Amino acid sequence: MNLPNDYILAENSAAAMLRGQNHSPMSIGQMYAIAQNIMGAFQGDSALLQLPALHEEDTALPLMAAARILQALLKSQQQRGLAPDITRRTCLLAACAYAMMGNLPSAAAVQREISLSALAGTAEIIAAAISNPSSLAHLLKLESLEADARRWLEQLNSFLITGEQDRAQTLEPSLEVLALNCNDMFDMALFASARLALAQVVYLSVSSALKGNTPFMQAFGERVVEARRPCLLPPQHQLLVSQQFAERHENAVVTLPTSGGKTLIAEFAIAQSLSGGPGIAIYVVPYVALGGQVVEALTTHFPANTRIHALYGGFKADADLNPNARREIVVATPERADALLRVRGLYEHLRIAVFDEAHVLENPHRGARIEALMARLRMQQSVGRKFRLVLLSAVLSQVEALCQWLGPNTIHANSRWRPTVRRISIWHRSGRLSWLYENDPMRPSGQRAGDILVQSVLPWPRPIYPTDRYAQILAQRPGAYSNASFLARYIDGLLGGPILIVCGTKATTRGLARTLADELPLQEVSPPTIIKIIDYIQRDAKHLSSLCVMLRRGVAYHNASLPIELRKLIEQAIRNRDIHYTCATTTLAEGVDLPFRSTIVFDWLIGFGDRQAPMSSLLFRNIAGRCGRAGEFVEGDTILFDNVFGNQKYTHDSLRPTAQARVLTDPLPLESTISNDNLSREEREAIRATVSSQLIAAVDELPDIEQLDEFFAAHLYASHRGLSSIDVFKQAQTDLLDDSDGEPFAVAASPMRLTALGQAANRTGLSAQSVRKLVGFLRNLRDDLSLDVLAARLLQATGDFPEQNNATLAKLAAGTLKRSYIGTPDLGTLCTQWCEGVPFEQMFVGLPKARSSSSSVTPHDWARGSRESEYVAAQYDKFIEVVEYTFGVFLPWVFRACHALAPVVDNPVVTARDWFRDAEALEFARITDLEGIDLESDEQN
């Protein structure tokens, strides 16, 4: 096999060409020839013998280069207006090149560039079907399909459904017959490439992989195929077929890159764990939006005799589960999973627990609970429970400690294989737009990750200087928006869209979207999805009228202040590619899988004041992973906007490159949140509360363990990072045993046992200190209060609990919230309005301070959509954030806690009250914006 020796240079040239630059003096014809030459080198019989090797980067590198070169040339041909016949042929070659190395998602993404009905002749149709088997249904309907080609496609279809090897064995010979019947050299060459692609399709077939497995697994496989996923990705095949990952029982850390197919691997492991019969699998998701995607996948793929439960939100154990008799899969937030495990005694039936986005372990707000929850599961394994723990992450790179934590035989399922290319660039204040080599496999030897692949001179239209002074930031902000808008339009022209612009605050999403829209022309015709959004705003959300103007120009913003229905409509429009530019907070960037071609990170500094710091490289990687979705695109570009506003220790010209390099670097090993000393006082208190609550759970779950505090601390991830958390556990244990305020939570028998108070506390999910406060409140409750009055009093009593991490609510409860329309006296009214389903804008303008506002634009005018005001909009942001969390999540949790504690407070008023009804009155009043709680709010930032 003779390969051209300059294919890396050619790939780099093609990548540079796509980005508007000449990388080297290499002609288009030469690049084309290099790509074709590589494909030719893999058309012989020898390539058929090395299919699995072609899933390894080193072996597949030439084909990867060929595919990328052809894809770049295709874009170039389209931009230069070459004849459709030529671009179609280039497209088919690019798709075949991807398929030859088993990268079927990218082959499918390339094929999106052409209309399948324009395919000319049998060879092109067959090649298209092989490169993208999920297009078979469409291709079989083509009228232009000749009889022999139809028969062949039917054979392929039949194999993909049944997995029968007999059928597979007829495919290649009949493909050769079809090839020999054609006279065109291009068609012949296409057939030659398609043969290797066909071998990949057969090798990667889902049905084939599950042939001979249990009926349950086969039924699962059938549904996966029916859902138009007939083939595994190479790393999935390697894990599931070659390494029998699903059948094994060891814990595992799966660190495949974005779009590497982690979820399906977890699904296989879940299916296998439930294959033998009833039981329960828990899939923990940190974001509700991600949960929605997982539930959709599970519902589609699992047979009807499996029940899928979506359990999101705060601490709540309610669920219709029967793992004794049914196969149950629970997709839950960490809080719901925690509650289920404590209250429902599920360990006996637990077969597997999957933690998606496991790097959330490092998140200051939620990491402690997740770490402790995993530690509880590890402790259960230590005492002999038989279930499997699987951690998934696309962004972790150093996981030795994580694997150690999960046990000596832990499988680290890893692969560098990724279907799409990730490109990173920085648009510097100096006017240089620099794309970096990063860790791309096409980086030439001698070049480092931070070295420049291609650089353009693109001056900032509006000069901006670094500053951390608020007034100067305010004065320069329009200029920064204008620059970012210019960049977005430039990237769109260069690479195409849709484009996601990630902003640090809701206000920035609005401001940037407005600037972008002002610089774009009105679209002549609005697509139906856009008309639907506009209708919704005009009917139900007039305060968002300015968004209608933006939508007509292909721009939208997306943040937690928008009504949830509206957000869903916007997401649908993005899915349909009807919105070209979306300015969003990190919620969208981290959560939902939407088809963005490129991402611009406008704010690379997170937080405000002394707490401001560069975005973690984990977060940046996660955001970067959002663009270039597999199957939609073959590349995703993330551009860091060199934002110079903020703390000068990061934004000063001499320090900024170093700070930004930290953002772009490979993530370090995960840190344990519980043992992290570099946190704020509030965050430390929240961790102490979490530890207390988790220790209570552990006492109940592990009645035979002596010195539980030490046992628990030793099972934390922290202990495998060489850090001790024993002090915080000792303190928590002391609190549990403390009887100075009356009955303790536990008694120091040998081993420790929960008292009745402790048992009740365990059902609340709260810490010992918070339970004491709540018990004190309940003991003093004298009257059967109406819901609104009770809610207001409870919030004042519990709003400062460290377990809740909404800073606005804490200040509201403490009466220290300043410069806000919403005040402590409003809580009761808001509770009533919440339950009555009063629209949020109406609740907002009804606030006394809003009614008496002397601002130039009144909240009333703003809500009617007649005038815009960023000040009022910011007030509304804060209002929505606190109201949704308070009444949709926190207060129901507290009501349920009251129900759990009622038996131990000895107060007939408390005992007589139906706390569940109160909780449900809030929960069922409206669709709670559970995504809102995913967000690190502007206030906290």
Partner 1 sequence: LNWPLAREATIFLKQISGGLELWTGDPTCQAAHEALLAILAKAGPFICATEPLSARRQGNLGEFIALQVALHAPLQYTSVHAMNAFQPLQDISNAGLDVTYLYFAPSDESNDCIYIQEVKTTGGITLDYAETLVDDYQKLFDEDPKFTLNTRIQGIATKIAWGEKRADLADRLRNLARTEPKSCTGVRLIPTLVHERLGTDPVVKLLAVKTAISALGWVSGDIRPWSVAFEDVILRLTRIARGQK
The phi, psi pair for 637, rounded to 5°, reads -105, 130
Binding residue for partner 1, selected from 180, 383, 452, 756, defined by CB under 8 A: 180
Binding residue for partner 1, selected from 11, 124, 187, 841, defined by CB under 8 A: 187
Binding residue for partner 1, selected from 51, 93, 487, 589, defined by CB under 8 A: 93
Which positions ≥6 away from 466 have C-beta within 8 Å? 644, 645, 648, 651, 652, 653, 656
Nearer CB in complex with partner 1: 124/335: 124
Nearer CB in complex with partner 1: 38/339: 38
Q: Which DSSP string corresponds to 276-297? A: TSSEEEEEE-SSHHHHHHHHHH
**Residue with structure tokens 């000596």?**
408
Q: Which of residues 571-630 bind partner 1 (CB under 8 A)?
A: none
SS3 at position 453 = strand
Could you tell me the smallest distance in angstroms from the CB atom of residue 189 to partner 1?
Answer: 4
Binding residue for partner 1, selected from 143, 166, 185, 521, defined by CB under 8 A: 185
According to DSSP, the residues that pair with 635 across neighbouring strands are: 421
Residue 556 has, within 13 A of its CA and on its CB side, a CA count of 26
**Alpha carbon distance 591, 630 (integer Å):** 16
Q: Which of residues 43-82 bind partner 1 (CB under 8 A)?
A: 43-45, 73, 77, 82
Residue (of 56, 316, 169) closest to 930 by Cα position: 316
Per-residue contact flags (x/-) with partner 1 for residues 28 to 47, judged by CB under 8 A: xxx-xxx-xx-xxx-xxx--
Peptide bond just before 751 cis, omega within 30 deg: yes
Count of CB atoms within 10 A of residue 494's CB? 16
Nearer CB in complex with partner 1: 90/733: 90
Binding residue for partner 1, selected from 12, 71, 90, 651, defined by CB under 8 A: 90
Could you tell me the smallest distance in angstroms from the CB atom of residue 63 to partner 1?
Answer: 14
Could you tell me the smallest distance in angstroms from the CB atom of residue 188 to partner 1?
Answer: 4
The phi, psi pair for 558, rounded to 5°, reads -145, 115
Number of residues lying near partner 1 (CB under 8 A): 38
DSSP designation for 53: G
Is residue 738 left, alpha or beta, with left meaning phi > 0 and alpha meaning psi from -120 to 50?
beta
Binding residue for partner 1, selected from 186, 490, 871, 916, defined by CB under 8 A: 186
Could you tell me the smallest distance in angstroms from the CB atom of residue 11 to partner 1?
Answer: 13
The phi, psi pair for 449, rounded to 5°, reads -55, -35
Nearer CB in complex with partner 1: 77/833: 77
Whole-number Cα distances in Å, 861 to 493, 543, 768, 843, 866? 38, 8, 47, 14, 6
Binding residue for partner 1, selected from 118, 188, 756, 927, defined by CB under 8 A: 188
Nearer CB in complex with partner 1: 175/910: 175
What crossing angle do the helices spanning 827-836 and 787-798 adopt, rounded to 10°? Answer: 130
Which range in 187-195, 324-332, 673-681, 755-763 contacts partner 1 by CB under 8 A? Answer: 187-195
**Alpha carbon distance 504, 605 (integer Å):** 8
DSSP designation for 615: P
Contact 725, 719 (CB under 8 A): yes
Which range in 2-10, 228-236, 401-409, 776-784 contacts partner 1 by CB under 8 A? Answer: 2-10
Q: Which amino acid is at 753?
A: R
How do 581-584 and 555-558 pair as beta strands? Answer: parallel
Which range in 27-35, 105-113, 585-593, 809-817 contacts partner 1 by CB under 8 A? Answer: 27-35
**Alpha carbon distance 284, 830 (integer Å):** 32
Work out the end-to-end distance of the chain between its first and last CA atoms, rounded to an integer number of angstroms: 57
| E runs forming strands in 224-374 | 252-255, 279-284, 306-311, 327-332, 350-355
Could you tell me the smallest distance in angstroms from the CB atom of residue 927 to partner 1?
Answer: 53
Q: Which of residues 117-176 bind partner 1 (CB under 8 A)?
A: 176
Nearer CB in complex with partner 1: 182/411: 182
Could you tell me the smallest distance in angstroms from the CB atom of residue 632 to partner 1?
Answer: 25
Could you tell me the smallest distance in angstroms from the CB atom of residue 421 to partner 1?
Answer: 21
Nearer CB in complex with partner 1: 91/503: 91
Residue 102 has, within 13 A of its CA and on its CB side, a CA count of 30
Count of CB atoms within 10 A of residue 412's CB? 14
Nearer CB in complex with partner 1: 196/395: 196
Could you tell me the smallest distance in angstroms from the CB atom of residue 639 to partner 1?
Answer: 29
Whole-number Cα distances in Å, 109 to 71, 128, 752? 10, 12, 59
According to DSSP, the residues that pair with 583 across neighbouring strands are: 501, 557
Could you tell me the smallest distance in angstroms from the CB atom of residue 53 to partner 1?
Answer: 18
Q: Which of residues 6-25 bind partner 1 (CB under 8 A)?
A: 6
Which range in 190-198, 397-405, 424-432, 528-536 contacts partner 1 by CB under 8 A? Answer: 190-198
Binding residue for partner 1, selected from 152, 159, 191, 604, defined by CB under 8 A: 191
Nearer CB in complex with partner 1: 80/819: 80
Could you tell me the smallest distance in angstroms from the CB atom of residue 126 to partner 1?
Answer: 13
Residue (of 498, 558, 490) closest to 519 by Cα position: 490
Could you tell me the smallest distance in angstroms from the CB atom of residue 443 to partner 1?
Answer: 21
Binding residue for partner 1, selected from 60, 114, 192, 813, defined by CB under 8 A: 192
Count of CB atoms within 10 A of residue 170's CB? 12
Which range in 85-93, 348-356, 418-426, 432-440 contacts partner 1 by CB under 8 A? Answer: 85-93
Could you tell me the smallest distance in angstroms from the CB atom of residue 520 to partner 1?
Answer: 33
**Alpha carbon distance 439, 453 (integer Å):** 11
Peptide bond just before 466 cis, omega within 30 deg: no
Could you tell me the smallest distance in angstroms from the CB atom of residue 91 to partner 1?
Answer: 10
**Alpha carbon distance 188, 534 (integer Å):** 51
Which positions ≥6 away from 330 have C-beta within 8 Å? 280, 281, 282, 283, 309, 311, 319, 321, 336, 337, 340
Could you tell me the smallest distance in angstroms from the CB atom of residue 423 to partner 1?
Answer: 23
Could you tell me the smallest distance in angstroms from the CB atom of residue 165 to partner 1?
Answer: 22
Longest dimension (CA), the chain: 94
Nearer CB in complex with partner 1: 179/847: 179
Could you tell me the smallest distance in angstroms from the CB atom of residue 39 to partner 1?
Answer: 8
Extract the tokens encoding 105: 């998602």
The phi, psi pair for 706, rounded to 5°, reads -80, 155
Could you tell me the smallest distance in angstroms from the CB atom of residue 384 to partner 1?
Answer: 58
Radius of gyration of the chain (CA): 29
Which range in 86-94, 126-134, 138-146, 556-564 contacts partner 1 by CB under 8 A? Answer: 86-94
Nearer CB in complex with partner 1: 90/420: 90
Which range in 87-95, 519-527, 669-677, 910-918 contacts partner 1 by CB under 8 A? Answer: 87-95
Could you tell me the smallest distance in angstroms from the CB atom of residue 77 to partner 1?
Answer: 7
| 86 belongs to the binding site for partner 1 (CB under 8 A) | yes
Which range in 183-191, 319-327, 385-393, 872-880 contacts partner 1 by CB under 8 A? Answer: 183-191
Residues that bind partner 1 in the complex, under the rule CB under 8 A? 2, 4, 6, 28-30, 32-34, 36-37, 39-41, 43-45, 73, 77, 82, 85-86, 89-90, 93, 176, 179-180, 183-189, 191-193
